[in-house]
Structure 1
């Protein structure tokens, strides 16, 4: 069913086209003025020519355009590519602003809001008989946890992102009510100036970013949007509940605990990144604390100017008054120069003291020589700051000033409860193999095992159990360990120190990538034991280290229940679970499983894995939270958050959802406050809907659907492995028919593109580079390959099966989301262009055979999905997305053709190193530009 939002967007699409046209005209003017009419003419010839080709095949025109591209020198090509790249950026801004405007228009008219809004979700709850106390129960158990990561890395520089924010705000002014003469003309002039500034700002980094750059980029989203968006989300949720449930006889208000929390891997993810050292992790934690404390100081400053109540006209309550007396004693030195400051304005005096205490709490950067925090007056913990805020809040309520309490003060309380003194819980991640090697060295030194790596899993578990419970036989001599093991131990020491110096919540999970056996988890527990993070003390166990196994490959997903059963059967680990309130987090890897066995096998195995894990956790009486390691693209588990949550198996969400937000997804969701509010709302409503099983009986999974999906996924995996593992020359095709090697030369991320340098195997290349390369060459096969064969072979010559698949598509959210996400990936593919990339391969017969397999599967997958979904064209039931992709298609074509010629020149022209460098610049710019057009990297 098409909702009011979709109808409004389709109805007013001409307004969006008009805005895109205006931005294109302004860009054209900037081009003519800055690079001259000749370059502008080239851009226009390519733009108009490929638009014609997009509508109708014309070999003569195609040849003319190809000759034009071949005639251009590197400098001109760079300018042309930048022109198209900036055009895409402007289209993205226009679309984002347009969608926000349509939502605002619908809300302003008092119409029923869109699916995924708080209003729509709460009305559905009310209609389905969810009582106020049941809604409160769902909210009490809720935890919505996006985790920011630096991979696939966001390719835009921070200075570019700030420029784009200004363009977004200025474009919004075009729709503001007219308040002065020449308002529109002045706004258009401002837009043109900002586009010109964008043109003159380098978007490609001169050097590869360090991890510290990635840390600051992650913090940018909080400063630019989330500090304002999060309180607004809470405010809108509360207003929605009051509106829908306010007249219910059993409604007596709602308590909103801080269920939105943020995590981060930036500065903590050391898997495959040698630049994430303990010092870098310490820097990340310090910058996070500085960022949130600076925001609190700014807001407390504003409240000092706002809460100017005099004690002549109000009587603060007893609790507040007593707290102020204590503060006056603790902070006497603050008033040495003016003891009577704010003497008759109690809230201002309290807030002034709070601001100074926050300043005293501010940590110094590791490289600075400033006085450390911890002196008299500093806040000892985040709870003390939160208590001060609530004292003011309750006191205002006590003398009838609830409106003042519910304004900026309430927003600051929401921030303080959400972010504490740590901003985000920083997860630490490392590969299991490195833990094993460190433990082997430690146990050898302590005399507990000379050949630990030769032991089987059961032997390892028994030994680790004993050492965690009783300690090492001989004290550890760290100075005699290898550098790698000392660094490993330093990370655990840092975790322990951070929990004391910043917050117990400052460190999140310790994630073990490539978890293959139960001993992988126990090895991390032993390393934590050596840092005092867990153990046996004064008659009871304690555990301040949360360990999360990450299951990534198809085989590990299938074996995870066996691995966890072995882990949970271990007496020592059971003691640790008891000490951790019987909570366990388990992470599931979407990216590597899709690269391993294809998107369909990955999706289905992840689905089944979730069911098995939750069933096991229920039997073990554990509260289990699943952590979804999703990427931005379909090939890495990406897709709309709301639908993705609803597509999870029944009763596996249970109030909590944690998932990675990667790379360009961060930019699209959180660069602008308006969009951040929308995206957080859509995710939270998905969580609330998926958690109804906490308070009511939900319809169980149909076993016949599961059996069918098992067979289809198996067939799809066979087809995917046939291509990627059994076809001679396939890996050569990947490296030659995509720009994956050139992507590795881009200065967009601190982490290497391969796990093992020089190893070109499928298992070595990271999922980011894998998806990025296929996407650039418009083959995009990680998002759809194998689906067509799986569906077609399952229903082959059995007419009744088509009807079954159509019913599954209509009734089963998982299957619906799988095929819809594949539609998006297929729509962004282009076999005519993909064939040109295939022609780059040196072994022509082999490359033709491989491309024919890809093209056949593409056509088969399109046909199968259209037949099952009963659509005429891909994305017919998602017209907003369909129009968005179409809007870019004709402009992507020239970029791909330019990139093809640049690759040929760079790889095969026998250029000198100096000449190669000239051609590399526009080639790297073309990768950025195509990413902007596709709105995808990896």
Structure 2
């Protein structure tokens, strides 16, 4: 019933508004864009009907030119296609803004997963004390990364924010003006953004969205669950930050960049305090209080603009001084304003968000090898001997005697203590190691600190291994078991409060092992690492490297965390958020607040409301293992297909990701010209399948595994599993989301391609099989039947971008045939890729 009401509301306040404002859009006097609005519906119709009839994108576009234009020259045709792309990009922005503006009307304070709902539920079940107990040390941490999955220039982002406001108040004049501005504002970065640009772009979200959102949410939780003796700890919602600290595969992130970003974060939070204080001083104009706050304001100003040192404690002391006077002499008038300010200082310190350092283990090994050779005059030693000898070295190594990456790695480690002095220890306290699969990967980093002159007790950093390949995940238990027993590392953990953070990578896991196998291996790794950590007296925290789409570990995040049973440590929910997920899930105050609440309550519910569907029985476990193995075999066969990499290279947009100027990082690891599967980054990999509308990593092998069960007469067992296990159910629903965004008619033409026809058929057959068996399994009549809002949103977005996909495929076909102006067609591919990425924002 609620589903139906919401779907109807969505139709009224999203679909209908889009129709109305889109008509405004059509008559806009864009530069050289007249009539595009009139032509677009024809291109959509030609595309939709053409694909269903099995026509090629080339035939569809050529028929569109013939039937609806009188253009003859290639140059004119290409120019028109560019204008259509520009128009569609702006349509996407309009739809985003309308959907964002509708968010508060489509979600209520008492929805499942909100703080209010958690309170009501725990009150009725007499579990309030249990919830308070859990809240005492539970934390949610969202870590923002600069992975290139969307990068509107900041000028466009500002228009989006203003447009959302104008749509909320239905101001037609304002909307008209903003759409005109949008028409004349470039959408593409002329040059690749630098890591500093990426950092500043996300810092603007920290200042204008999260400073208030997290502050207000903290106050809300405190008021909802507070009683005389309950104290809510200020670290309950934390922010992490990777731009400027994550150098994995990004040669542009240097020690200088890291230092600069740390300074920008500090400056941004002090500016937030300064403007917050301005507002408070308007109310607290009383004698004594006013003077103290003016003094604090001046000190903040000096810290921002004159580099004067100020700590969070300095700010808190002044705020407490003002509070004393307010309580004793002015009847505590407006006290809540001051308390609110003080809470924020405790939440954000002088760091705003914790800047992490991340690098690949193979780079670390090179650093260790070079330093060892320089210090001991030879390179002849085992890897274990190298890190052990360097840890015991006892004197500092001069970074300047090395070059490039070795020097920069050492400088990065040397300056950590400076950053901690400036931003507080919460400003930087983790070093993350990509591609960890051995003990040396962690101990090498410990050795860095020692050769940079740190004494053991001065290493105030957590060393975090990131297990992301199938091999890494399988090896995780052995690695951690050995580390927990290593005397040097054991002492380090004691100094760090016997807490170990372990990162698990969904994106590379899925790329490596396929959807079902990757998710199961991560689940299993969490179980064994939980058990191992408990045995060693270690509090383990899992940090999930999740992306937007299900194929990168995204999808329904609340459901994912709420489905983990009591075999998995639940001390903290920590995950990465990137690209379009930042804008679509945490892009404005209403959405950010709602989604932070969803994460928080998922973790609390797990402990407080026990539910048999969260814990896997032995029988369910065996069945998932069986399904995972069958699906892994099927996916591995696909990866081993001789056409797998050539298909992506020649038929998809993979090669064009690096040209989009949406991220500072190269789109593949390594410099070799030949493309190897292992060098593929997860984002371009998953993204390219998405641009083809095939979404292979989100389902391939999953349906096949279930079909095998059906053929053995065991589908009823899988149905029982779906009904009985929240974990399995979430995987199925997320996979169906991936399939709902697939559109194979777009590439029907490939089935006749002499080189790739057979390979395309393998993909298509698996898609049809997966779709049919999942519908049978769930009893749904259509994909995403359980989530009408997301389904409707996907449908409208797919309609908007279909002409864009036709243009992209048309350009790719021209390039493959070597026809016409190659440079112009390559630009068309890149530009349409950009619009398409931005359009698929609701993938999380």
The change in CA–CA distance for 1:477 and 1:923 in structure 2 (over 3 A counts) is closer
Cα 1:838–1:125 shift into 2, 3 Å: farther
Would the aligned equivalents of 1:147 and 1:264 in 2 still touch at CA under 8 Å? yes
Measured in 2, the distance between the counterparts of 1:223 and 1:5 equals: 35
SS at match of 1:763: helix
- Structure 1 position 355, deviation (Å): 1.1
Query: In the superposition, relative to structure 1, how do residues 563 and 894 fare at CA in structure 2: closer, same or farther (>3 Å)?
Result: same
2:5 is the counterpart of 1:21 = no
User: Alignment partner for residue 147 of structure 1, among 121, 125, 143?
Assistant: 143
SS class of match (1:362): helix
Residue 526 of structure 1, aligned match among 444, 447, 456: 447
- Measured after TM superposition, the shift of residue 142 of structure 1 is 1.3
Q: Is the 8 A contact 2:785 2:791 kept in 1?
A: yes
Say whether the 8 Å CA contact 1:776–1:927 is kept in structure 2. yes
State how far apart, in whole Å, the 2-side matches of 1:156 and 1:191 are.
19
Cα deviation digits, residues 367-394 of structure 1 (max 9, x gap): xxxx5434xxxx2x21221233244345
For 2:64, the equivalent position in structure 1 comes to 68
Q: Deviations over 1:424-478 (max 9, x none)?
A: 11110111111112112222222286323xx2xxxx445534542x325x76344
- Residue by residue over 1:181-217, the C-alpha shift from the partner in whole angstroms, topping out at 9 and shown as x without a partner, is xxxxxx2121011011101111011111111110111
Are 1:396 and 2:326 an aligned pair? yes
Compared CA separation, residues 802 and 697, structure 1 to 2 (3 A): closer
Is 1:44 the counterpart of 2:10 in the alignment? no
Counterpart contact for 2:635–2:701, Cα < 8 Å = yes
Contact preservation (8 Å) 1:771, 1:937: no
Alignment partners' CA distance in 1, 2:207 and 2:97: 19
Distance (Å, rounded) in 2 between the aligned partners of 1:382 and 1:630: 32
Compute the displacement of 1:671 (Å): 2.5
Contact preservation (8 Å) 2:396, 2:451: no
Cα 1:62–1:530, aligned 2, differ >3 Å: closer, same or farther? closer
Q: 1:478 to 1:229 in 2, by over 3 A?
A: closer
Between the aligned partners of 2:729 and 2:60, the Cα distance in structure 1 is: 44
SS of the residue 1:262 aligns to:
strand
Q: Cα offset for 1:496?
A: 1.6
2:462 is matched with which residue?
Answer: 546
Cα 1:392–1:791, aligned 2, differ >3 Å: closer, same or farther? Answer: farther
Pair 1:777–1:40, CA change in 2 (3 A): same
Q: Is residue 2:518 matched to residue 1:609?
A: no
- State the shift of 1:644 in Å: 2.1
Are 1:542 and 1:576, in contact at CA under 8 Å, matched by a contact in 2? Answer: no
Q: Is the Cα contact below 8 Å between 1:733 and 1:838 reproduced in 2?
A: no
Tell me which residue corresponds to 1:295: 272
How much has 1:413 moved relative to structure 2?
2.2
State the 1:491 CA deviation.
0.5
**C-alpha separation in 1, matches of 2:158 and 2:144:** 19
For 2:175, which of 180, 187, 191 is the aligned residue?
191
Query: How far has the Cα of 1:48 moved from its partner?
Result: 4.5
Distance 2:4 2:451 in 1: 57
**TM score, norm. by length of structure 1:** 0.85
CA deviation map 1:632-691 (0-9, x unaligned): 111111112211211334353423111100111011123322222112121221122124
Q: State the Cα deviation string for residues 564-596 of structure 1 (Å, max 9, x = none).
A: 111112111111111111111110011111111
SS in structure 2 at match of 1:919: helix
Q: Do the aligned partners of 2:387 and 2:443 also contact (CA within 8 Å) in 1?
A: yes
Q: Residues of 1 paired with 2:118 and 2:422: CA distance?
A: 41
Counterparts in 2 of 1:854-869, with a 5 A limit? 854-869=763-778
Matching residue within 811, 814, 832 for 1:905: 814
Q: For the Cα contact (< 8 Å) 1:836–1:900, is it kept in 2?
A: no
Distance (whole Å) between structure 2 residues aligned to residue 615 and residue 295 of structure 1 = 42
- Cα distance in 2, alignment partners of residues 617 and 740 from structure 1: 40
Give me the whole-angstrom Cα distance separating, in 1, the residues matched to 2:625 and 2:329: 64
Separation (CA, whole Å) in 2 of partners of 1:672 and 1:837? 41
Aligned to 1:471: 393
Q: Which moved more, 1:353-362 or 1:898-907?
A: 898-907
1:423 aligns with 2:352: yes
Structure 2 residue runs without a partner (length 5+): none
Taking structure 2 as the reference length, the TM-score comes to 0.94
Shift of 1:901: 1.1
* Distance in 2 of aligned mates of 1:225 and 1:902: 39
The answer as to whether partners of 2:145 and 2:577 remain within 8 angstroms in 1 is yes
CA distance in 1, matches of 2:328, 2:235: 24
Please say if residues 461 and 519 of structure 1, whose CA atoms lie closer than 8 Å, have aligned partners that are also in contact: yes
CA distance in 1, matches of 2:356, 2:30: 49
* Distance in 1, Cα, partners of 2:258 & 2:176: 41
Give the drift of 1:281: 0.6
- 1:869-908 paired onto structure 2 within 5 Å: 869-908=778-817
Q: Which residue of 2 aligns with 1:749?
A: 663
Please tell me whether the aligned partners of residues 225 and 673 of structure 1 are also in contact (alpha carbons under 8 angstroms): yes
Partner of 2:313: 383
Q: For 2:463 and 2:607, how far apart are their aligned partners in 1?
A: 25
> For 1:769 and 1:189, how far apart are their aligned partners in 2?
40
Inter-partner Cα distance in structure 2 for 1:910 and 1:698: 57
The structural deviation recorded for 1:924 is: 2.2
Match of 2:708 in 1: 793
Residue of 819, 827, 850 corresponding to 2:732: 819
**C-alpha spacing 1:60/1:510, structure 2 compared with 1 (3 Å):** closer
